[in-house]
Amino acid sequence: MSQRARTCFFAAIFAVAALANQAIAYDGTVKKDVFTMPSYTTVNGKTIKNVRVGYETYGTLNAAKDNVILVCHFFTGNSHAAGKYKPEDAAPGYWDAIIGSGKAIDTDKYFVISSDNLVNVNTRDPNVTTTGPATINSDTGKPYGMSFPVVGIRDFVNVQKALLDSLGIKKLHAVAGASNGGIQSVEWSAAYPDVVERVVAVIAPGLEINAYGIEMLNMWSTPIVTDPKWNNGDYYGREEPMEGVAQSVKLVILSASGFGGLDKRYGRKWAADDKDPGAALSNVYAIEDGTYKAAAARAKTIDANHFLYTARANQLFSVAAEAKKIKAKFLFVPASSDQFFPPSMVRRWAEVLRAQGNSVDVFEIEGDGGHYDGLFQVSKASTAIRDFLAR
Amino acid sequence: MSQRARTCFFAAIFAVAALANQAIAYDGTVKKDVFTMPSYTTVNGKTIKNVRVGYETYGTLNAAKDNVILVCHFFTGNSHAAGKYKPEDAAPGYWDAIIGSGKAIDTDKYFVISSDNLVNVNTRDPNVTTTGPATINSDTGKPYGMSFPVVGIRDFVNVQKALLDSLGIKKLHAVAGASNGGIQSVEWSAAYPDVVERVVAVIAPGLEINAYGIEMLNMWSTPIVTDPKWNNGDYYGREEPMEGVAQSVKLVILSASGFGGLDKRYGRKWAADDKDPGAALSNVYAIEDGTYKAAAARAKTIDANHFLYTARANQLFSVAAEAKKIKAKFLFVPASSDQFFPPSMVRRWAEVLRAQGNSVDVFEIEGDGGHYDGLFQVSKASTAIRDFLAR
């Protein structure tokens, strides 16, 4: 081969390599896939046929299939954790600040996979695929409604495990998530201790939901079950309990918001300048109006029964009795102004894990946004997460 | 007079004095009085005829009428702050731990007066006298319902002021109260700066309710207004929205409880040993069942509209713009685990008052009972309150 031919040959090789690299590297554009199981049997022994959940991936699975980070979603969230479906999308996935090329969860190194949960609340979001009470039961041709079996966080995890198995993935470099996603991450470490090497649990409670958390979830669910249109969960094909769902979401927003953030945003302003709340009971403050409207808009994609089932799954969360099985290293990321799962709660569980020999780091996000800081201020934990994943 | 006659004379004098003393000293037995105003005009210019509120007193008013401590009640409370109506009463008034002979608010020194508020929620409690939406409007012969004017904390205070005027009381050694009672105490200091010498504000927010507090009160009210039986407040003489009231009270209980206290009481126990919440959505945890039952029992004496009006009065609370008028000395008593009005919020307002020259002490009740620690653990602040009142 002449010098010139050799030059061309290597140039061509490099070009192909670059092209291949470009084809497989994550550039922020994502698409949704769907994973299907012909049948899944719950922890409580109930069988659900034809389970389908959506998922997204960012980055490239390496040959050893050992560069995988599973990301689990929060209560009202879904698998859209990063990137955009189309460049013109209004916003990227919820954790885009820390998932991507060169970011804390670096898609140049890691293959990130994020799935919709069983009973995901957003049944009317076209980008969500889930299975739950709103799903047609193939045995009856009608939605399951309340005949859908109760599922727990362990069931969410078991379906994710089946998804990973289908991709030939046997090890997780890490499982990560915020809130209910953090809860799933911790559940993973107890359910599959030999699979999970690291847990990044952001704004999560620790090893269980306590009594207060159980009651908070009851509080969130109550507006749905007291809405006459809920009709014991039998509302498919008729008017749905959308007012109940809106009121439930309003409670979620309040629980997840921080004192300081709400004060800055709304203060004591009235909803309308000419409607003094001191003059009539129907005149309200800006925060009452704003929070309700935000909740009602958010409620549009949410199925009432899926909300109740997701709440129950969270109430059921406890791996405290299985702590001894857990082998993973932990990074807990509480938010300083989180009133739902305050840093003090997380630190208590961190001590339990340390006392039994687990490596546990705690990095606290400072802010006044409450629980939401685990979503909107997560970039403050970038270095802590990056360093933890490299250890 | 013979020696014997003199002895008899003095013995008789002492006997009479002892008898008189016994008659006027507070021995823990109380009776309810009622104060009536032929007409009261609200801050917003609405006139309410024949305003009636109940009140209790403990101790003896001195000749100078300058040993008076006014005690204001909390949201779901009433004027029964201390003592018992009958020895066989199950429990004394809510602050009996600090009001009485030799106690922090020492009835051997002070004349304590405690009144029911306007729109007190407990219209069906035979020991409560109040005026609000459930009261018969003498112009129509029917309950006011939503035609009752919106009242604010300033209106509560103005009616208390009229009560004190009727007793010839021109100075308050102190105004004290827990939660909404603490809010009224602070309002007093701005409304009547030359009357109020000291404020003891227990588990109160400071100089105003913030956006978060406004929304919490909205959250408490929502189960009532979304109960179809509420019927825009027009339910007198028909079935009342008792389920809504119960759900509202459930939210009050959760807001006012502390993480730790609820954990100790309920933990993750099920409501029934044979009803696994993992097996059916209708099976619940002990905290869900216990809190609901407590709320439903408490709701029996509560009028739905009075609850809404009391919530609005609290939303309206702000004396931040009047801070400069305030002359009183302050003792703030936040509770360490109070999530509603956390110590950090109180300390911020304490700094505002100190910066303008007011004397402000802050004593924090340590505990895990949340907001409720200002009621049930108030004896922890006994020395702080006693010393503050003596200064």
Q: What is the ipTM of this complex?
A: 0.91
Whether the CB-CB separation of A149 and A316 falls below 8 Å is answered with no
Residue numbers of chain B with a pLDDT score lower than 50: 1, 9-23
Over 50: is that where the pLDDT of A145 sits? Answer: yes
What is the pairing mode between strands B68-72 and B111-115? parallel
| Residue B285 β-bridge partners | B270
- Interval A20-50: pLDDT, tens: 444 357 999 999 999 999 999 999 999 999 9
CATH number, domain of A141, equals 3.40.50.1820
Residues from chain B that touch A226, judged by Cβ atoms under 8 A, are: 223, 226-227, 243-244, 247
- Smallest Cβ distance to B262: which of A211, A254, A339? A211
Backbone angles phi, psi at A321, to 5 degrees: -75, -10
| Chain B contact present for A294, CB below 8 A | no
Based on the structure, what is the number of domains in chain B? 1
CA distance A214 to A226: 18
pLDDT reported for residue A4: 54
- B234 in catalytic set: no
- Interval B189-237: pLDDT, tens: 999 999 999 999 999 999 999 999 999 999 999 999 999 999 999 999 9
| Chain B contact present for A281, CB below 8 A | yes
**Tokens 């955009």 — which residue?**
A84
- Interval A290-347: pLDDT, tens: 999 999 999 999 999 999 999 999 999 999 999 999 999 999 999 999 988 999 999 9
Mean pLDDT of all residues in A380-388: 98
pLDDT reported for residue B6: 53
| Chain B contact present for A262, CB below 8 A | yes
| Chain A contact present for B362, CB below 8 A | no
pLDDT reported for residue B260: 84
Provide the residue range defining the domain that includes A356: 3-390
CA nearest to B229 within chain A: A228
CA distance A179 to A317: 12
pLDDT reported for residue A23: 39
**Tokens 């769907």 — which residue?**
A34
Over 60: is that where the pLDDT of A10 sits? Answer: no
Residues from chain A that touch B334, judged by Cβ atoms under 8 A, are: none
Residues from chain B that touch A225, judged by Cβ atoms under 8 A, are: none
CA distance B186 to B204: 9
Over 50: is that where the pLDDT of A177 sits? Answer: yes
- Interval B154-179: pLDDT, tens: 999 999 999 999 999 999 999 999 99
| Chain A contact present for B73, CB below 8 A | no
Whether the CB-CB separation of A42 and A48 falls below 8 Å is answered with yes
Interface of A with B in 311-350 (CB under 8 A): 312, 315-316, 318, 339, 342, 345
pLDDT reported for residue B24: 58
Q: Which tokens sit at A232?
A: 């014991």
